Structure 1
């Protein structure tokens, strides 16, 4: 494993910045899109940075990035545009439906702005990151560099569902924010107040937890019902997704991707990097840090650089031609969550090192079961009972608002969680890459969920989640062993610590409680859910195992 020298930023005198100017453009079908444009107050022409947002351009994504004035002072024209149906732009907001054409039109418009030198870069996180991918599919001539952050690649698997289960907390929170913005635009005061309150305290206690009353009453304001009732995958999702729009297309735009270990869309970030690396003639770089979906990482200390410093170096190199070495850094740079240092790799290692589950049938008790190098000769059976009245809660990880490395020791002590733990390691163990689980499991219900969490058990007793995965088994799905895809990880276990796999029948509110009947989440009342007994097999002719990406330090 190599350790690359950091990119050196050129330091130039800061420029004065003009007051922002609101400028409009027309899309190819005539919709007016509005933007605030920030320009250096100096003679000359400049590259343009284009950001296309859903949250209203006046907020300018300043929760994740420096204000556009910061970039303008460093020699860029910055255009922050409301996407169709948001802010003051015309039309109706339908997630991702028009971003391909609108994005390409916006790139051409940005290149023609007064003060532009014709070169355009795009940045933005979340939806604004996905909008970059979709614009790239139109191959606009002026687009010369991109930095999508926390963005994902496939709308179905990165935004709406995970392992076949609806992303309840994440999808509901975003839908409520979208609906609140729609109500504000239409001056629907009652809807705005109710929806705004719901964004602050997710209404998960309603009779139908996955389809609360506030979203039923104001369904006209957002896409939530469409997503909840289209379990897919299928053509309707494919039409929205960059992975399909860009399938097979060669690219020549330099791309720096920024991902977060605690961002819900990390898997898509990795998929996008793998796809582009195969067919791009321009530099493609992946950087995954300790961030969550909000770009926050308070637990990482001072080791996490800002998004601004990362992408400024990229834009300076590819929009201004400055020889700062941005393209010479490693193709993959990962933040080690436990060692708190950056690691450079040529690619993500494969998950090929097995750890087998072993138990005396008491993995749901405090002593738990074991993770070991070899599968036990004798078969074993652990019985896990999921009670929908008290589902196993989601603690930390990536899929809830309170994301991050939260201590889950108390959750692992519950009798409805089965745990399997290695012996303490005698020397540091580095994991870097994706994780997978193959588990022989059955249930006494037509449908059930399996939640899997890989954690580090530290010498001080804390249990910190490193990677999570979730799978919903639908009626008639008899695939065994069940494969649960966990997220990727980069972490060095210190001497004396251990790895732990935790299995449960729920992870709430990250995903809806499975009622056991096979009914869709939007049709399931609290009272409908039934207890489910899970039987976890291992050893003998039904070996359950983890597959880990062990790397060399």
Structure 2
């Protein structure tokens, strides 16, 4: 079945609504996230809409919808390929970008992954079919009479990591990809950060998928599409073995399931240009997946890193402008200066108001260049100070105990605080946490990249989970959230061949798991997710150690099944001469620009009163 209609596209401003988290998440859309500066556009081009089903290599029907300008073309073609309902809504969560590109003469195709929305087949998490089906969709789109033959893939999240899978298949018509907010290593990036089960996000994601499919069914009902309705009816069974939640819970270690399906396995085969985006405080997929862009061809890979939320890709006008320039170059062949664009852009202090950075630093090499710095943990909560002989040997806290969380903005939108995450008002429990803080800085400290907390600990139990939170303590008595990292200490084994001073790599295999020697010192390196932050003169750098807590849409079950026993522990962080625990970071050259931002002005970096002040 193929249908085609002509409509006049009208882009209207979105209402500024306070939407409960679950509703916004289940809608699978960042469109409900309020943002400053929404305005309607005057251009209302006539758009032809065509819907139908294309054949995957094994004959499975995949739902598609095409939006294209009137006329014969040929049009450079953009493809969004994901499992929500792009097959019915090609510009899903990219409404502004889609309108801009359609007005500029692009065709936009949306295709739903097999086993999702209106497409036939069974859902199978990170199935190899996701790659081959997507490649077939690229070839179909590129061979249509209205297409120029050059196809670019766009969008973020689900539609970001599918680009990595498809590009590894090297379809002939694929000219460029622009994946944002990706998952590359499905185990480490989001399923089991630090080896700890992320039990909340998979449930929420699966629920979001099913609600999105229900929305596609409503659209199919109005369009009299019985094939879609039959397919969705077969999908709407939560908790199937191949679904998001059960697939992850059946694989608590980094086993063949994850290794054979994760997008990172095919990164070296990607032979088209890549424009990757990542948000340091991404509350949904996290930022670790952005490490994928260090494994694609550096000559044809460009990356943008910024503080902010999951939807920065679509919500930032600056991001959309760069995407437009990129696709104009590779799909239209325009000589617009893209080749002179620095390969790595670090956006500093991107603001809630307009999602624009205060300043940008650039490089043509990755990881971003800098100098490795170490800050020694010491007695009385010191960080980076000399440790005197005979000083207290360790700092202790109990785990698991409740600890302050960071939750997605839609739970309680308050425009006086940062977008993306809101620091819970839960007080710090001195029995369940330990903090280490530098003296006020005498010069600016700009940190960019990954970080490692290299601990020596003793424990009263054979296992424990550790959460590390990096913050800035400002001269005005406010504390600003920067980043987090996690580790289940029984997963502390290192793959030294893949580890660096600022990026520990843990095998997370069942064979590598080792209980803690009760009462005996044990070394453990905790990976802190990549970030960039400017600590100005007069501020202090701080780390908190406590139990894993709500972080965006991630929720953890501390030291629980399937790989833990839930036994409480007294953890002692050692910091004597024989057991030098330290924070290892990378300092970027240069100083912060401009004055200290107001609290709540930075995207996804909320403030609170310093609980130790």
Q: TM-score, normalised by structure 2?
A: 0.73
| Aligned counterparts of 2:537 and 2:461: Cα–Cα separation in 1 | 42
Q: CA deviation at 1:530?
A: 4.4
Specify the alignment match of 2:606 in structure 1.
none
Specify the alignment match of 1:209 in structure 2.
none
The counterpart of 1:271, out of the listed 285, 291, 309, is 291
Secondary structure of residue in 1 paired with 2:246: helix
| Aligned counterparts of 2:515 and 2:296: Cα–Cα separation in 1 | 33
Specify the alignment match of 1:483 in structure 2.
525
Aligned length: 484
Unaligned runs of 5+ in 1: 1-12, 188-216, 299-303, 361-368
Q: Deviations over 1:488-533 (max 9, x none)?
A: 2212112211100100133247342324xx6317xx9xxx844321
Specify the alignment match of 1:3 in structure 2.
none
| Aligned counterparts of 2:180 and 2:260: Cα–Cα separation in 1 | 21
Specify the alignment match of 2:396 in structure 1.
383
Q: CA deviation at 1:53?
A: 2.1
Q: How does 1:40-439 map to 2 (within 5 A)?
A: 40-57=69-86, 58-60=88-90, 62-66=92-96, 68-97=98-127, 98-181=129-212, 218-220=238-240, 222-246=243-267, 248-249=268-269, 251-263=270-282, 264-277=284-297, 282-295=299-312, 304-337=316-349, 340-346=358-364, 347=366, 348-349=368-369, 352-360=372-380, 369-378=381-390, 380-388=393-401, 391-395=402-406, 404=420, 406-407=422-423, 411-412=427-428, 414-439=430-455
Contact 2:205 2:244 in 1 (8 A): no
Contact 1:151 1:269 in 2 (8 A): yes
Secondary structure of residue in 1 paired with 2:450: strand
Specify the alignment match of 1:514 in structure 2.
558
| Aligned counterparts of 1:449 and 1:350: Cα–Cα separation in 2 | 30
Specify the alignment match of 1:26 in structure 2.
55
| Aligned counterparts of 1:103 and 1:502: Cα–Cα separation in 2 | 43
Specify the alignment match of 1:493 in structure 2.
535
Q: CA deviation at 1:116?
A: 0.5
Secondary structure of residue in 1 paired with 2:557: coil
| Aligned counterparts of 1:66 and 1:260: Cα–Cα separation in 2 | 19
Secondary structure of residue in 2 paired with 1:159: helix
The counterpart of 1:441, out of the listed 421, 444, 457, is 457
| Aligned counterparts of 1:270 and 1:380: Cα–Cα separation in 2 | 38
Contact 2:85 2:213 in 1 (8 A): no
Q: CA deviation at 1:60?
A: 4.0
Q: Deviations over 1:187-237 (max 9, x none)?
A: 9xxxxxxxxxxxxxxxxxxxxxxxxxxxxx942383311211211212111
* C-alpha spacing 1:350/1:551, structure 2 compared with 1 (3 Å): closer
Contact 1:20 1:38 in 2 (8 A): yes
* C-alpha spacing 1:168/1:124, structure 2 compared with 1 (3 Å): same
Secondary structure of residue in 2 paired with 1:39: strand
Contact 1:38 1:78 in 2 (8 A): yes
* C-alpha spacing 1:185/1:42, structure 2 compared with 1 (3 Å): closer
Q: Deviations over 1:353-373 (max 9, x none)?
A: 10010114xxxxxxxx11115
| Aligned counterparts of 1:287 and 1:87: Cα–Cα separation in 2 | 31
* RMSD over aligned Cα atoms: 3.0
Secondary structure of residue in 2 paired with 1:108: helix
Q: CA deviation at 1:350?
A: 5.6
Specify the alignment match of 1:531 in structure 2.
568
Q: CA deviation at 1:14?
A: 6.5
Specify the alignment match of 1:366 in structure 2.
none
| Aligned counterparts of 1:397 and 1:480: Cα–Cα separation in 2 | 35
* C-alpha spacing 1:171/1:276, structure 2 compared with 1 (3 Å): same
Contact 2:63 2:112 in 1 (8 A): yes
Q: CA deviation at 1:393?
A: 3.2
* C-alpha spacing 1:396/1:428, structure 2 compared with 1 (3 Å): farther
Secondary structure of residue in 2 paired with 1:436: strand
Specify the alignment match of 2:28 in structure 1.
none
* C-alpha spacing 1:34/1:182, structure 2 compared with 1 (3 Å): closer
Correspondence 1:542 to 2:559: no
* C-alpha spacing 1:181/1:408, structure 2 compared with 1 (3 Å): closer
Unaligned runs of 5+ in 2: 1-41, 219-236, 351-356, 414-418, 491-512, 591-613
| Aligned counterparts of 1:340 and 1:396: Cα–Cα separation in 2 | 25
* C-alpha spacing 1:440/1:240, structure 2 compared with 1 (3 Å): same
Comparing 320-329 with 345-354, greater Cα deviation is found at 345-354
Secondary structure of residue in 1 paired with 2:360: strand
Q: Deviations over 1:151-173 (max 9, x none)?
A: 12111112311110112332221
Secondary structure of residue in 2 paired with 1:149: coil
Q: CA deviation at 1:69?
A: 4.0
| Aligned counterparts of 1:427 and 1:158: Cα–Cα separation in 2 | 34
* C-alpha spacing 1:117/1:63, structure 2 compared with 1 (3 Å): closer
Q: CA deviation at 1:545?
A: 0.3
Contact 2:403 2:429 in 1 (8 A): no
Q: How does 1:444-463 map to 2 (within 5 A)?
A: 444-463=460-479
* C-alpha spacing 1:486/1:166, structure 2 compared with 1 (3 Å): same
Specify the alignment match of 1:192 in structure 2.
none
